[in-house]
Amino acid sequence: MKTALSTADYSRHPCFNPEVKGKFGRVHLPVAPKCNIQCNYCNRKYDCVNESRPGVTSTILTPEQALVYMDKVLTAEPRISVAGIAGPGDPFANASETLTTMQLLRENYPDLILCLSTNGFGLAPHVDEVADIGVSHVTVTVNGIDQEVTKNIYSFVRDGKIIYRDLQAAELLLARQIVAIEKLKSRGVIVKINFITIPGVNDHHAETTARSMAKMGVDLFNCMAMLPNADTGFADMVEPTKASMNTLRNSCEKHLPQMRHCKRCRADAVGLLGNDKSGEMAGCLNACATMPATPPKVRPYVAVASLEGMLVNQHLGETTKFLIYGKEENGYKLVEERKAPPAGGGIGRWEALTRLLYDCRAVLVSDMGDSPKEIFKRAGIDPLTMSGFIEAGLDAVYSGKTLLPLKRRAKNSCNSGACLGTGTGCG
């Protein structure tokens, strides 16, 4: 059997360490309503306070509302050590909301353990940002590694606007999951696998899956009994017996440590594993969900795209780093440099940049497109294009003066279609 994690890695996470399940608790923040796959055992519901299972929540929160709710949760139950997102859809079918929530939690509650539970389909492009924020624990639901088995578990998989079914869906999902898990382990993230056990479908495949996951460096394996749910493809299935589940876990334990204390938590679960307070907190949760968007904090910094640290001379799309400036009594100070996400990725990259520059009131660049401008504006960051010295741009931002004299002059296009945009012009 694989060596268990060191106590230091998960000493306060009750889901990963059964010895502390009565000492520390967790909260699930329901900020992710959409899902990118349809499992034949899943039925997501709202306003169902008496039902305890994954996919159920009383309401949905925005990231800002989740932050307010987090404060109230910690007041009501100070033993909460973990904040996670587990739906009611999938965190990475709602990547912007998920990562914004994680970023806000990290800024405001630096000692919280951050945790995500996902099907893994949309995870891989966001792994670096997940790790950089400090999300230390990720659960991925992998129901098998043989597509001939798993093709019967999913009604469809949605990739953007394209729907895949049957074997195609199973193949694409598994390929994405493997890449995501490999990336998570390369970044040192603790990974748990949830395996939903479905009698006659994949129960014979659990040990093979555990063996495969162990080879990938996974840390913990959780065989979960499927709960038959109304209005699903597996509504008439029989739930696995406790005896059969124990036998399955024993066989999987040859390869990976097993989670044997899972409570199959709601998407808005809160409290200790053995003393959930979702019902008690439902009123508070719903009150937070009706709150208006909170005004952003005063943002002290300005981000600058510059080649050499003197001029604003890089396009938003080409810059690899941002210089972060703050105002001092007698001028401006370079606070730090922040590495930009890799080029490409479209809207996802622009949204990642707004999270990277969360404490900046403006970003100064030589140019940017209309789409990122709108995304920055929605995030409360003023997208400003200019040409000239950094200090002149900072003067304009902090004094409220117009940037018009510094606006980037329209260049004479070389029409070559091959300009690399190095900031040095086409001469």
Q: What angle do CA 339, 345, 348 make, to 5 degrees?
A: 80
Question: Is residue 347 located within the same domain as residue 272?
Answer: no
Q: For every one of its 427 residues, what pLDDT tens digit does the chain have, with 9 covering 90 and above? A: 443 444 445 677 877 777 777 778 889 999 999 999 988 888 766 444 444 556 677 789 999 899 999 988 888 888 888 899 998 999 999 999 999 999 999 988 888 999 999 999 999 999 999 999 999 999 999 999 999 999 999 989 999 889 999 999 999 999 999 999 999 999 999 999 999 999 999 989 999 999 999 999 999 999 988 887 777 777 778 888 989 989 999 999 999 999 887 767 788 888 887 777 777 888 888 888 888 755 556 789 999 999 999 999 999 989 999 999 999 988 999 999 999 888 776 787 888 888 889 889 999 999 999 989 998 988 889 999 998 999 999 999 998 776 665 665 544 443 434 334 444 333 3
What one-character DSSP code corresponds to residue 297?
P
The 3-class SS string of 197-246 reads ECCCCCHHHHHHHHHHHHHCCCCEEEEEECCCCCCCCCCCCCCCCHHHHH
Domain that holds residue 92: 7-289
The answer to whether residue 421 sits within a structural domain is no
Q: What pLDDT is recorded for position 3?
A: 39
The answer to whether residue 36 sits within a structural domain is yes
The answer to whether residue 412 sits within a structural domain is no
Question: Is residue 278 located within the same domain as residue 210?
Answer: yes
CATH assignment of the domain containing 332: 3.30.420.130
Question: Is residue 235 located within the same domain as residue 313?
Answer: no
Question: Is residue 248 located within the same domain as residue 270?
Answer: yes
**pTM for the full predicted model:** 0.74
Domain boundary among 255, 289, 323: 289
The answer to whether residue 263 sits within a structural domain is yes
The answer to whether residue 414 sits within a structural domain is no
Please say whether the beta carbons of 124 and 180 come within 8 A: yes
Q: What angle do CA 77, 83, 84 make, to 5 degrees?
A: 135
SS3 80: strand
What is the Cα–Cα distance from 121 to 37, expressed in whole angstroms?
8
Q: Which residues contact 277 (CB under 8 A, 6 or more apart)?
A: 76, 77, 270, 271
Question: Is residue 263 located within the same domain as residue 354?
Answer: no
Domain boundary among 238, 256, 289: 289
The answer to whether residue 417 sits within a structural domain is no
Question: Is residue 23 located within the same domain as residue 122?
Answer: yes
What is the Cα–Cα distance from 273 to 144, expressed in whole angstroms?
27
Question: Is residue 277 located within the same domain as residue 314?
Answer: no
Question: Is residue 345 located within the same domain as residue 208?
Answer: no
What is the Cα–Cα distance from 152 to 166, expressed in whole angstroms?
7
CATH assignment of the domain containing 36: 3.20.20.70
The answer to whether residue 1 sits within a structural domain is no
Question: Is residue 311 located within the same domain as residue 216?
Answer: no
Domain boundary among 260, 289, 318: 289
Question: Is residue 282 located within the same domain as residue 308?
Answer: no
Question: Is residue 54 located within the same domain as residue 158?
Answer: yes
Question: Is residue 178 located within the same domain as residue 305?
Answer: no
Domain count within the chain: 2
The answer to whether residue 50 sits within a structural domain is yes
